[in-house]
Chains A and B, each alone.
Chain A
Amino acid sequence: MKTELAGIRKTFGETDALNGINLEIGEGEFVAIVGPSGCGKTTLLRLIAGFETPSAGEIRMGGHTVAGPDHATPPEKRDLGMVFQSFALWPHMTVSEQVAFPLRHHRFIDPALKRDAAGRVRQMLSMVGLAQYGSRMPSELSGGQKQRVAIARALAPNPSLLLMDEPLSSLDARLRLELRNEIQTIHRQTGTSIVYVTHDQDEALAMADRIVVMNGGKIEQAGTPEEIYSRPDTPFVATFIGKANLIPGDWRDGRFHPFGSTEVAWAVPDVAPVFRDTGLCPLRPEQLAFGTGEGIRGTVRNVLYQGREIHYTIDVGQQTVDLVTGLAGRLSAGDPVVLQYRPIPVGSSPAINEMEYR
């Protein structure tokens, strides 16, 4: 089922929560919506779910209009499932009852699944590794187990679209990584379209087919994880997704002269016009290195040892620049350094390797 959003606007009183959103979610596609809090990503998800009504624009699912200005099909009449940040398990039902609930009530369910509800519950629970937990109450589960139940519950009726609202952000770091793998596997197995809202760019980069970066109620950029990471269209995307430094300087003949330097010129490829026009260059911490000879002079301000790598902040004039290096040649605060540009071919292994960097 294809989901299309055309010209969606949503206003709450005087404030614009969403300002002209156009988005298409293809059959089986995994789309991650990323942005800081208050960017409108959760409102967008609620509109797709049917908990909110758009102020303008239209939402279509599988060719049918489900929402337009001031009218919306309620969530229970849309072919979807939903997973919440707070798990939203019902405290008075057992794990099996939670999963059986949509099997009984979902309108778009395959009659075969409905007939063998008990079998389907068992199947879903073993998919999320909780086959033995059917008779437990939610209060007897750990956080990770609760979210697995929530996922099983959302997927039990085999909905055409699965909405996930920051499903991992109330879990601890280790569980987050574990469940990322699981969600990816489940997506591959079920082929359900997924809209996944998160503020964690790592999650989005790791799992999604396509990332939609939102800011201030608008889509800043949409594209594959590689495109978003390596070729940001706007300063916001560059800093939010890649943690890039926005280095001021001059663009002359396709080369970047950082901090107005006349001698130093860096050949940085694939920089969007908006940066060139404003005299900026987005450079991610791994795109900078210490060197000798020609370069930009600075002083080490902080050294943060991370085990696998070292994060430095460097003072350059009035600016600070972030930089990541390997463990060799550790410097100390106050050391003078020379910064150089380190080219990383798009899509090559170093960039991918460094992706885990935060």
Chain B
Amino acid sequence: MTQITLNDGGRQAAGAGRRFSLLRNVPLWLSVLIVTLLFVVPVIRLFYMSFVEEGGMSLAHYRSLLSESGTWTMFLNTLIVTAGSTALSLVLGVTTAWLAAYTDIRLKKALQVLILLPFIIPSYIVTIAWTQLASDVPFADINLYSMGGIVFVLGITHYPLVHLFTANVLRRIPKEQEWAARAGGGGRLTVMRRVTLPLALPGIVGGAMIAFLSNLDNFGIPAFLGIPANITVLSTAIYQEVIGFGPGAFSRAAALSVILAIVALAGTLFQWLLLRKSATDGTAAPDTEPRVRLGKNRPFVEAVLWLFVLGTGIVPLLSMLKTSVIRAYGLPFVPDNLTLDHYRYVLFDYGKSFDAIGNSLKLAVAASLICLVFGTAIAYFRTRRPGGALRYIELSVGLPYALPGIVLGLAMIFAWMEPLPGWNPGIYGTAWILLIAYVTRFMVLQIRGSMTAMSQVSPDMEEAARISGAGALQKWRKILLPLLSGGILSGALLVLLTSLTELTVSSLLWSSGSETIGIIIFNFEQAGYTTHSTAYSAVVLVLMGAIAGLAYLLLRIWKRRVNTP
């Protein structure tokens, strides 16, 4: 094994064992190779496939796609949907962030949870909930199966991202900088325009970019709302190409994927540049003191805000619950029409849906365990032994997550159907491809979680442990694990919950017998079994809540145990 030296790179180690350095670095180069094969090659292969035509390489797929008017309608739809939903996310996110970060409204913690709710719940369940609410609204005839509907639900689902980014930046603006402007004669509006807004801009734009990427990436919402209405966007277009099995379907899908991937990667790059620029002066500690007292208006503002967060976070879910206990879709909500039959059906009568919970649980647990071990190892070496190779590993592992899910799904098909020409290991078409895809896609979440935890434990603490005589085992058991466990486990929990309800990648990779939770709901919804999909969604939400609650409890018990000897 390579020896780990802290802090000053491996300077002494390099001096002592230069002769062996080639040999010593074998594990490192091996890791680089494996990471390249698993995370980078599939993406390259996807690019390659988009040019392949019988008999050689050509731009034929691109040419034929771009000559069809349907493609251009789909591009236009994508543009309208992502731009519209991003604008909505931006308005909602910035407004709620300002209220939460700056004003003296009460119960901010509870509000925060409710604001995050539409983002935490899988977007296809949010969609089902909203469609139920839309049908419950009297007087007005609201059709969510439309461009406007897609924009609205996407905007509601992703405004929490803008909220988080903006609130974080707002809290870090030193209030003295605003006070200095007021002491210099600037009124509230001047201060807002000349100081607060320019300083918050990196956060606002960063949040908007994340929302834009999520809106572009999202498959569940345009699939549930757009496919029935014949509205196609890039992500659903790729899906329809693949399952349509038309002539050259895979290559056409690959060409569309390349277009989508380039837009997404350009967005990610822009966002990264922006955040890197703003991170240099973002050293101020967050300040949670209210800066604006709303005075007499406070109850009014609070009421509007609560109405909004309850209306977007809870009320649609209630509507969904209501549908799930109605005997038949469309009947009035009176005691005679209530039944738990749909729950019985999805849990016991229809075997596949119950099995899907098992499948998803197994896949999610396996994926999060694999990510836990390897992600934490990569994070450890990345923080403690920086260098080009580890930077490359981190970037490569981040690539599948930066790509839209549907693009990764297609890349996984190409990569694992025939990993080597003429060799089909039989992974595609089983649950294994799902596990591989989840690990490939979500590994970076664990790395980030573990890296955050590790960056908060300074190397000094390890050094102090070693000076005090602790060996490697003692150091990990007594010092590092207790300090890191919270961050590492919350990273693992994120991987677990995200894999559990994954839909986008699964929609291309599932096969009969390996249905997942997302697939079951998708299939119910496509078949029009609304009462079943609502009941099943409710079961899934309970399951997610139980897992999160259990994890929280375990984490507390674990913390208490390691903190008190």
Contacts and interface: CB of A to CB of B under 8 A. Distances in A.
> A and B, one complex?
yes
A84 B180 CA distance: 8
Contact of A74 (B174, B176, B182): B182
Contact of A90 (B185, B187, B188, B195): B195
Interface in A73-110: 74-76, 80-82, 84-86, 88-92, 101-102, 104-109
B198 interface: yes
A102 B184 contact: yes
A273 B194 CA distance: 56
Contacts of A81: 183-184
The majority secondary structure among interface residues of chain B is helix
A75 B281 contact: no
Q: Kindly name the residue among A88, A108, A163 whose own CB sees the greatest number of chain B CB atoms within 10 A.
A: A88
Contacts of B188: 74
Contacts of A150: 180
Nearest to A104: B185
B345 to A, nearest CB: 56
Contacts of B194: 90, 101
Contacts of B185: 76, 102, 104-109, 157
Interface string A220-239: 00000000000000000000
B189 to A, nearest CB: 10
Interface string B248-276: 00000000000000000000000000000
Interface string B178-219: 011111111110100011001100000000000000000000
Contacts of A108: 185
B177 interface: yes
Given A101-B194, A105-B190, A139-B281, A88 B184 contact: no
Nearest to B180: A88
A132 B316 CA distance: 62
A105 B184 CA distance: 7
A49 interface: yes
A90 to B, nearest CB: 6
Nearest to B293: A53
Contacts of B184: 76, 81, 101-102, 105-106, 153-154, 157
Contact of B177 (A89, A104, A105, A163): A89
A86 B174 contact: yes
Interface residues of B, number: 19
A305 interface: no
A84 B179 contact: yes
B176 A51 contact: no
A51 B179 CA distance: 8
B199 A153 contact: no
Contact of A76 (B174, B176, B182): B182
Contacts of B180: 82, 84, 88-90, 150, 153-154
Nearest to B183: A82
Nearest to A49: B183
A80 B185 CA distance: 9
Given A101-B194, A105-B190, A139-B281, A90 B183 contact: no
Contacts of A163: 183
Interface in A109-153: 109, 139, 150, 153
A76 B281 contact: no
B186 A88 contact: no
A91 B179 contact: no
Contacts of A85: 176
Contacts of A105: 181, 184-187, 190
Contacts, number: 76
Contacts of B181: 90, 101, 105
Contacts of A109: 185
A76 B185 CA distance: 4
B542 to A, nearest CB: 40
B177 A75 contact: no
Nearest to B282: A91
Contacts of B195: 90
A152 to B, nearest CB: 11
B515 to A, nearest CB: 53
A90 B179 contact: no
A92 B278 CA distance: 11
A86 B285 CA distance: 13
Given A76-B182, A80-B183, A81-B183, A91 B281 contact: yes
Most buried by B among A49, A51, A90, A157: A90
B38 to A, nearest CB: 41
Contacts of B281: 91, 139
A76 B183 CA distance: 5
Contacts of A101: 181, 184, 186, 194
A108 B183 CA distance: 12
A75 B179 contact: yes
A90 B187 CA distance: 16
A89 B174 CA distance: 10
Given A105-B190, A139-B281, A86 B183 contact: no
A105 B185 CA distance: 5
B176 A75 contact: no
Contacts of A104: 185
A102 B179 CA distance: 12
A91 B183 contact: no
A82 B177 contact: no
A163 B179 CA distance: 12
Contact of B176 (A86, A102, A106, A139): A86
A76 B179 contact: no
Contacts of A139: 281
Contacts of A49: 179, 183
B179 A82 contact: yes
A91 B143 CA distance: 47
Contact of A91 (B182, B186, B187, B199): B199
A86 B178 CA distance: 12
Interface in B267-308: 281
A283 B176 CA distance: 40
Given A76-B187, A101-B194, A105-B190, A90 B177 contact: yes
Nearest to A79: B185
B198 A92 contact: yes
Interface string A147-185: 000100110010000010000000000000000000000
A91 B182 CA distance: 16
B102 to A, nearest CB: 14
B186 A76 contact: yes
Nearest to A165: B176
Nearest to A87: B176
A75 B181 CA distance: 10
A35 B539 CA distance: 61
Given A90-B195, A91-B281, A75 B182 contact: yes
Interface string B471-485: 000000000000000
B416 to A, nearest CB: 49
Shortest beta-carbon contacts, A-B, top 9: A102-B184, A106-B185, A88-B176, A82-B183, A105-B185, A88-B180, A84-B176, A75-B182, A105-B186
Interface of B: 174, 176-177, 179-188, 190, 194-195, 198-199, 281
13 contacts: A74-B182, A80-B183, A84-B179, A88-B179, A90-B177, A90-B180, A90-B199, A92-B198, A92-B199, A102-B185, A153-B180, A157-B185, A163-B183
Given A105-B190, A106-B185, 5 more contacts: A84-B176, A90-B199, A102-B185, A105-B181, A154-B180
